[in-house]
Each structure stands twice: as C-alpha cells, then as structure tokens.
A and B are shown apart, each in its own frame.
Chain A
Amino acid sequence: QSGSSLRIVSAALKQGQITPTELCQKCLSLIKKTKFLNAYITVSEEVALKQAEESEKRYKNGQSLGDLDGIPVAVKDNFSTSGIETTCASNMLKGYIPPYNATVVQKLLDQGALLMGKTNLDEFAMGSGSTDGVFGPVKNPWSYSKQYREKRKQNPHSKNEDSDWLITGGSSGGSAAAVSAFTCYAALGSDTGGSTRNPAAHCGLVGFKPSYGLVSRHGLIPLVNSMDVPGILTRCVDDAAIVLGALAGPDPKDSTTVHDPINKPFMLPSLADVSKLCIGIPKEYLVPELSSEVQSLWSKAADLFESEGAKVLEVSLPHTSYSIVCYHVLCTSEVASNMARFDGLQYGHRCDIDVSTEAMYAATRREGFNDVVRGRILSGNFFLLKENYENYFVKAQKVRRLIANDFVNAFNSGVDVLLTPTTLSEAVPYLEFIKEDNRTRSAQDDIFTQAVNMAGLPAVSIPVALSNQGLPIGLQFIGRAFCDQQLLTVAKWFEKQVQFPGIQLQELTDDCSAVLENEKLASVSLKQ
C-alpha cells in the first residue's frame, strides 16, 4: 500500500508521474465503485474536477501550492461548504447550502486540495456507529477486505456475508470509510467524544484529534462547542501531520483558537531512540469490557516501548469512571442549546403547520430531528433547568475539571505520552450493533476517548494489528496540551514498529489502485 499515502502521491504529483486530474478521476471512479459503502452523502464531482484542472495548471506553471495541491480529500458533512449542501445527515438540514466555507475547508482549498465530497455521519454527529443518520448507515470497507473474508471462510459459523457487514464506528464513519476505501487521501472528521478516533480504529486508519484551540471550529456545525475539534483521518501519521500543518493556527473567526502555541510546519522527525521517553499506562483504562485481544495488543505495545528503552509507568487517572456520565450531562446541555437555532425559520426544514409560530417550531423540530437528537435536547434542557442546574451542569463542570487535572497530574509526574486502547474491541457487525440503543452504545464506545475531549488534549489512534477475525485494532496515544507534534512523533515511531497490514480491497478497487502502485509510482523518490 506504499502508493496510497498522501506524502507519496504528493511527491508523484510534483514529479509529474500523475496529474491532479488523473488522480481526481481515479478517486471519483473509486467513489462510484464503493457507493454501496454509503460513505458519501454528496459527491462534489464537478467541483473536484474543476479544482483538479486548476491544480494541474499550477503544476504546469511550477506554482504548486504545496503538499496538498491536487490531493483528493473528503469532508464530513457537518463542516460548512460554500455552495455545497451540508446536511449533518439530518432532515433538518436537507437542502441547506451554506454560503460560506468552514475555516478548515477554506484552508484545504487554499492549499490546492480537491474536495471530493461530503461524508456520512450519525445525525448531527450524535453516535458512535455512523448508523444513525437520515441517509442510512455507513459500511466498513473492511467488511469486504481480503483479510476479513478469508478469516470468515475459515469460520464454519459465518452467516450470510451480505447482511453481515460491519459498522465503521463513528460518528465520522463516512470520512473513515472514504479514506479506508482509497476514495481520497485524507478526510476531515470531527471529534467531540472520540468521533474521529473511534472510526479510525475500526477502519485501520490514523485518526487524529488535535489539541482544543489549535484548529479552528468556525464552520463546524457544533455538537459540543467546548469539546468539538476538527479531526484528521489519514492512512499514516506523516499524512496526518501534513494536514495538521495546513489546518492549525489561530482564526480570528474562532475566539477559542490559541495564538501560535507551537511551531509550524509539522515536520515529524523520525525518532531513532525512545530511551528518553516516558509512556504512561492509565490503570483505570483496564476495564472488564475490554476484549482480550485489544488488551493483549495494548500490553504488547507497552512491552515494545519498554524493550526499546522507554520508561513505561502505570499511572492513575482516578476520576475516569465519572467521565462518561459527566460527558453526558455537558454534552446534552450544549446540544440542547446549540440545536435551539433549528426552528425552521431561516434555513433548513420547515413543516407545513402554520397555526402559530410555536406549533410551527414544534412540528418542524419533531420532523427535522431523529429520536437521538430529540432525546439529547430533552435531557440537556432538563439539566439546564433552574432547579437542576447546580445539581447537574455545575457538578459536571466540576468533575470535568477533576478529570482534566487527572491528566495534568499524570503528565506532571514525568509522563510524556499516555498509551491506551481506542475501542473496547474491533468493529462489530451492524446487526449486532443495533441491538443496543444509541445512548448505551455511545457510552460504551466513547469510554477511552471522551475524557481527552473534556481535557482538550491531543490524541491519536494508530492501527496496530489485525484481530483474529482479520479486523483492525487501534491504540490511542494521548499527549500534553499543544504538544501535538511530540505526540505525532511518538505515534510515527510506533507506526513504524508495528507495520500494520493495509487493507486489501483488490476485488473492490480492481485496476485503479493497482495501476498507480505498480507502474506509475515505481520511480517516485521521497525526500526524507
């Protein structure tokens, strides 16, 4: 899969082995071939081809805009894209065409990236499976991988393959599937409680959540303003760093972005030696629900660091067990507030009822939002009631502070990076996933990821190995606030050690990727 990384294809573009238009068409054709994955809500073919044409001109004139010029990317459908429908996978925003670009989208375009389309998600990013959007669930490309299929053939109990497809995880499942199925080289997700890292782990990708305040949220349709961060999904750590380099930085339109806390660009050194590194293993993350396979990979990873000379410490994050319930209160409260603007008046869905403004609001919101969204609005408003505010919201904020302090204490004890699982297990089949309701699922699936959002820390999920079933398993690294570069550097070293086997989708993608990998890229040279 060497030809599949952004860095390599970027080099190929620069050396003229492939043109942006060829690359764009290749990805468009893969999007069509993998349509059944339901990764995209909107494919912006015309926009992408036009951008490719312009990129091609720049390359011809020797005026390339940089590493991202001509690179196909996808964007989760909760980022505003000027002139392109932005739905949040909700009836409420079907047909809504924003008049402006989210800052991160604009930055990608300014660097010459090609916008392939808008990817599927859980409605308003509320979910952990990418199964609860109005456009239907996203299918995990690994369901169709050679690795998984071979394992299933060996299993005498395997059921009908067609109905046995796997979820991607979520809520950025569309972005994960899009990158995993080679329809683009990087995708934007959003990460509020793990929505980028969770599908990255299930789809065998690098899923990076930057420090809160490092990347602008302007134009990201919010779930929880105080935790949302644009996330990056790529096939390797270096690619994530390239995209982060393009996105990071203060934005006058987002007052919560921080003024230049770290050096740009994000060039990741290849770490030769980890002996000065201290890795923390939070003991509270060893929960009974953790699958034995993930647990064993986690401890193998710790062993790897230790055997290479790093110091590995058990650390305690004592308030971890309160994290999920605290997250629930804060998340739903902000959701209740953020969703108040969807009243059918200015944009989006409006019902036919016109008896009174109030009746119109009520019917519009009932028709526009699914049960999950309505349920969160209801609980959030309950927590914000005058009589409940102190007991729920204020307490949850206090607990949030304790959770953030847990991390600070761990890092103050000398730990550079924390190593944890990303998910409890590998991806599960859709039919099994929907046996539980969204709330239960979210609470389980966010267990290792959401505390990071409450503390605003950077975290990255790295694919480590395949499970017995041939499915990817990811581990998570958590860094100090605004030490994103250090975090990614450690992740890059780890990535190199584990040599995760890429997805084999030959049957699906047939000639397209093969041509690129075997012939055109044979002579690409990479500057280290």
Chain B
Amino acid sequence: MAAPMLRWVGRGRRWTFARVDGGSCHRRGAPTGSTSNRIRGQSSVAQQPLYTTQKPRKGEHKWAAVVGLEIHAQISSNSKLFSGSQVRFSAPPNSLVSFFDASLPGTLPVLNRRCVEAAVMTGLALNCHINKKSLFDRKHYFYADLPAGYQITQRRLPIAVNGSLTYSVCAGKKQSQVIPKTVRIKQIQLEQDSGKSLHDDLRSQTLIDLNRAGVGLLEVVLEPDLSCGEEAAAAVRELQLILQALGTSQANMAEGQLRVDANISVHHPGEPLGVRTEVKNLNSIRFLAKAIDYEIQRQIDELENGGEILNETRSFHHQLGYTMSMRDKEGKQDYRFMPEPNLPPLVLYDATSLPAGADPQQVINIDQIRETLPELPSVTRERLVQQYGMLLEHSFTLLNEVGLLEFFQNVIKETRAEPKKVTSWVLNTFLGYLKQQNLAVSESPVTPSALAELLDLLDSRTISSAAAKQVFEELWKREGKTPGQIVSEKQLELMEDRGALEQLCHSVMEAHPQVVMDLKEGHPRAINKLIGLVRKATQSRADPAMIKEILEKKLSS
C-alpha cells in the first residue's frame, strides 16, 4: 500500500494530505448534507476536516505518518478468562470477584474454554494463522488494580498470528467512492483485563474495583500499515463490526469493551521510521481519529521546529483535543516476562490432528469453529448490493448504524415495496429523523412493521409519496396509530375520483387567470404552479401526473 504524502505548507503550521490516487488518505471537505453516503463510526467519524485542503507549494518538505494500533477487545463470555466469576458491566463494585481474581495466595488459573473459542473465531475471521500450540506468560508490574502483581498474557507464542483486516475509506467529492484497504494483523493474544482504580485526589485515596480484573481480553496487534486518523478509525470500525458479528466481543467503546492504543511516528518517505509515541486509552472512534491526526501534526510541527520526538506514552485530552505526555513512567518499565507455570501449553486441534476418541469437552477443534463462523460484514454488504441492488456505500451505512441492518431487513420482510424504495426510506427518511433527534435505532418510535405498512400503502398507490411523508411524521409522534388508521383519519388516500379532480382543476384555473394567461403566452413551466395549487387543494392526495394530464387537456381545449 502506498504511503500517503503529508506536505508542509508553510507558515500556517498546518499540514495536509496530498491527493494521491488510490492509496492516499482522502480528507473530506465540509460535511456533506446527506447522512447516507459516508462511512460512519458508531457516532460517526469526525465530520470537521482537521486539515485544510490546500495545494502544496513547490519545494515543500514531505512527511509520511506511520500508525500502528493495539486493540483490546473484552471477550463476551459469561465468566472470566481464568476464574468462574461472572462478567457484567456496571455491577456493584467488587461484586464479581473470585478468590483468584483477588489473587488470594494458593489460587490457580483455570482457562475458560469460551474465551479460547472466541480467540480462535476472531483469528479465523481476521485471516490469521491459528497456532496449534500457544503459551501463557506473566507480565509483571506493580499497580493497585493488578492484584497479583502480574498480568497473564501471551507474549512468546500467541494464539493467532499473521492475519489481515480489510476495511474501506470513502473518497471523492461526495464521499461516495469506496476505497478498500488492508491492514496486516501481527497477532491476537489472550490476556487478562485489570481492575479499575478510582483516584480521589481530594482525599488522596485510590479505590479499587476488581469486577473487571481477570475478564478475558483479545489483544489485536495491527502492523503499522495505517497512515492517518481516518484510516485508523475505519479499520477499528470494521474490526468492531466483525467482533460484533462473531459475538466474540460486544466491542462497545463507551463501555470500555474496545480500547485502542495507537503508536504513531512520522518520517520522510525513503528514510528510516521516526521515533514513535504511544497514545493511550482512546475510548471512541471519533477521538481515535482526532488524537492520531493531532499527534501526527504535533510531531511534524516539533520536527519542523528543530525539536525531537520522545519515545513516550501520551494521553488524549478529548475535550481540548490534544495529546499530552503521561510522564508516569520513570524510564522504561521492565516487565520481567516469565512463562506462566500454572497453565500447560494451550493445544488446539484440527480435523487432521484430532486424537481419536478425544472427549469433545476437553479439546477445541479449529475446523469445527470455522464451520460455525457467521456471515462477516464484508459479505453482508456484498449480499445487500447483490440482493437489493443498493449502492455499496448504502450497505456501509446500513451496517455502521447499530441495529439499522436488522431494521431494514425486517421492513423488507414485511413489505411488498421495492427494495430500492425501502433502502431510500430507511437511509434517508428514517435515519434522517433518528439523526435529527440523536436517537439510536432501538429508540425509534417507528417500528419496522409500521414502516412496512406505510410502504405498502405507497406501493399500492393508496397514498402519494407526499402523503406518505405526512404519515411518517404522524407515526414518529408515537401515538400508537397504524399507518392505515392515520391515512383514513386524515383522509390522505389518493384522490381516485377523476370527476372531482377535474372540477377542482377547473376552479383553480378560474381563480388564477393570470397564470393561465402566462401559460397561453408561451410559458409552459407555469403549469407547475397550477399543479402545485391543485395538489394543495387536495391536501396532496392527488397524483400529480393525473393533475397535469387534466390541466393540459383543459388548457388545450
């Protein structure tokens, strides 16, 4: 993949991406009006352009950014990685803590089969090589929410290696061009989560909650193939969708089920990589993109000013939008890695290596897991395009909004309307309303059945599309009425009575002689005014085509 060029643009101390075909990082301009043709994060990726898109001047210095990610995904499992304690978000503090989680002396880890299966599944979905034998290690550091003084992880021989993640970024004037990209996956390792420390600076106290201590994590390490915040955001979003499709992680960033650390450096293409910084604990996709772009910019500024980049850990201040050195480590930590002696090597089997007569409860069969893999997001999108004839970017939107695909499919199931019609209604009208009121799909006042019924009425030409919009607005008010009831109460049925419509046209023409005159004097577009007036008189219940036909007939007579 070609690395994008970043160019120094002079005194403004801003840098920007040059538009290079294909492999470049495409910045958008101002936000486009439509919500339907953009790849969005859970709450949509930064819509404000971070960098002004200016033309580079001649002789300017070129920079390339190199970004690698370490992603921690909490495994969705009933119990923790090495203990029987439950896994639950927002339980009362220290209510989900086993003796092992509290590291009581003498307790031993017992590996949770479900977590191993989740790791294998994720590895397979990310095109990894699954290691038939993997090992556990202890990583030592003293921290109050790490009760054993070490974390059990997989450093030497992780469960999955050498995979890839294909994601897409949008480009083009309307962000309608979908460009597929690939980032290599170095490894996926199983490890324990830590507890949580709550610092009370006023009382200089730290409170510890061990509910999270020992929850299974998948650490997914991406190779530094990314080059800007947008790419990172798109890659993480795709990973999030994959994890959710697999059910291996709920991957909700706001709840900390997906946490991203970014390693960032800049260099001149062709020269060795620069010193990198690590930006920690990025808890939303939007902040991830912002933090990376800020940090790239900061490093370029620093270097352009003759400064140097320190190999340090930085945190992102999401309100103020900048990264700052964490300065919490005096020098480099030595984690004193050591093999975990209480866990034998984790051995996995496939169809060929499975020992005869093995107890299925005691062994994990990679091939068997492969067979249970659900449809992955990229396949779903392809299917949507093929099956419903929608644009690829529409399929992205359907998947990116939580619950939207399911909503769409439920509508499709219940309506006779054309899939294209459904797509348009779901992505424009429905999603537009949701966005306007900042609601999630699950909070929508309109059910798939109601929308399906509405689209049926439209499809059967019982109502006009203008009336349909009106019905939709009524539905949104949550008054518990069906579209049919609304239509009959408000008398929104399409006017089928030609005689009545002719009468109406006649009176409109009589009431607006000037318009009729204009028409006759050779201004044919004036007819639209008449059509509009007639429609208004029918409360949008008449078919505009029929109105036009009647008017034309009357005018020519």
Residues of A within 8 A of B (CB): 79-80, 86, 88, 93, 96, 98-100, 102, 217-222, 224-226, 252-256, 333-334, 336-337, 339-343, 345-347, 357-358, 361, 381, 384-386, 389, 393
Contact = CB atoms under 8 A, between A and B. Distances in A.
B43 interface: no
A220 B111 CA distance: 19
A346 B210 CA distance: 11
- Ranked nearest first, the 4 interchain pairs of A and B with the lowest CB-CB distance are A340-B149, A384-B336, A225-B341, A226-B341
A102 to B, nearest CB: 6
A374 to B, nearest CB: 15
A429 B190 CA distance: 52
B150 A340 contact: yes
B140 A337 contact: yes
Contacts of B338: 333-334, 337, 384, 393
B138 interface: yes
A106 to B, nearest CB: 12
A337 B99 CA distance: 18
B553 to A, nearest CB: 88
Interface stretch (B1-9, B53-61, B69-77, B100-108): B100-108
Interface centre among A255, A256, A336, A358 (most CB of B within 10 A): A255
Interface in B137-173: 138, 140, 142, 144, 147-150
Given A337-B150, A340-B149, A341-B149, A102 B142 contact: no
B137 to A, nearest CB: 11
B148 A255 contact: no
A105 B55 CA distance: 77
B236 to A, nearest CB: 30
Contacts of A253: 108, 110
B442 interface: no
Contacts of B107: 218-219
Interface centre among B108, B110, B147, B208 (most CB of A within 10 A): B108
B108 A218 contact: yes
Contact of B208 (A341, A345, A358, A384): A345
A342 B148 CA distance: 8
Q: Is the interface of A mostly helix, strand, loop or mixed?
A: loop
Contacts of A220: 106
Nearest to A393: B338
A445 B102 CA distance: 36
B479 interface: no
Contacts of A384: 140, 336-338
B104 A98 contact: yes
Contacts of B105: 80, 86, 88, 93, 96, 98, 221-222, 341-342, 347
A343 B142 contact: yes
Contacts of A93: 105
Contacts of A99: 99, 104
B109 interface: yes
Contacts of A222: 105-106
Contact of B99 (A96, A100, A393): A100
A385 to B, nearest CB: 6
Contacts of B144: 345, 357
A221 B106 contact: yes
Q: Is the interface of B mostly helix, strand, loop or mixed?
A: loop
A334 B103 CA distance: 16
Contacts of B104: 80, 98-100, 346-347
Given A337-B338, A384-B336, A393-B338, 8 more contacts: A102-B106, A217-B108, A254-B342, A255-B109, A337-B138, A337-B149, A341-B103, A384-B337
A361 B142 contact: yes
Nearest to A384: B336
Given A217-B108, A256-B342, A340-B148, A389 B142 contact: no
B136 to A, nearest CB: 10
Nearest to A358: B142
B429 interface: no
Contacts of B148: 340-341
A339 to B, nearest CB: 8
B489 interface: no
B342 A385 contact: no
B334 interface: yes
A456 B107 CA distance: 21
Interface residues on B, range: 20 to 34
Contacts, number: 99
A338 to B, nearest CB: 8
Interface in B333-357: 334, 336-338, 341-344
A350 B338 CA distance: 27
A99 B99 CA distance: 8
Contacts of B103: 341, 346
B206 interface: yes
B201 to A, nearest CB: 13
23 contacts: A80-B105, A86-B105, A98-B104, A98-B105, A99-B99, A102-B106, A218-B106, A218-B108, A219-B107, A221-B106, A224-B341, A226-B341, A254-B108, A255-B111, A255-B342, A255-B344, A256-B108, A337-B149, A341-B103, A347-B105, A358-B142, A384-B140, A384-B336
A295 B7 CA distance: 83
A339 B138 CA distance: 13
A102 B337 CA distance: 28
Contacts of B344: 255-256
A8 B337 CA distance: 51
Contacts of B111: 255
Nearest to A259: B362
A345 B99 CA distance: 14
Nearest to B111: A255
Given A226-B341, A255-B111, A343 B106 contact: no
A381 B337 CA distance: 10
A417 B51 CA distance: 78
Nearest to A124: B105
Contacts of A255: 108-111, 342-344
Nearest to A88: B105
Contacts of B334: 385-386
A470 B144 CA distance: 54
Interface centre among B106, B108, B147, B341 (most CB of A within 10 A): B106
Contact of B106 (A79, A226, A361): A79
A98 B106 contact: yes
A86 B104 CA distance: 12
Contacts of A393: 338
A397 to B, nearest CB: 8
B110 A252 contact: yes
Nearest to B332: A386
Nearest to B145: A345
B538 to A, nearest CB: 76
A340 B140 contact: yes
B111 to A, nearest CB: 7
Interface string B88-114: 000000000001001111111111000
Nearest to A254: B108
A222 B105 CA distance: 8
A334 B102 contact: no
B104 to A, nearest CB: 7
A93 B142 CA distance: 19
A347 B97 CA distance: 14
A485 to B, nearest CB: 24
Given A98-B106, A341-B147, A225 B342 contact: yes
A80 B106 CA distance: 7
A217 B208 CA distance: 29
Contacts of B102: 346-347
B143 to A, nearest CB: 8
A226 B136 CA distance: 14
Contacts of A358: 142
A85 B150 CA distance: 26
Given A98-B104, A340-B140, A345 B147 contact: yes
Contacts of B342: 225, 254-256
A510 B482 CA distance: 97
A168 to B, nearest CB: 24
A385 B343 CA distance: 22
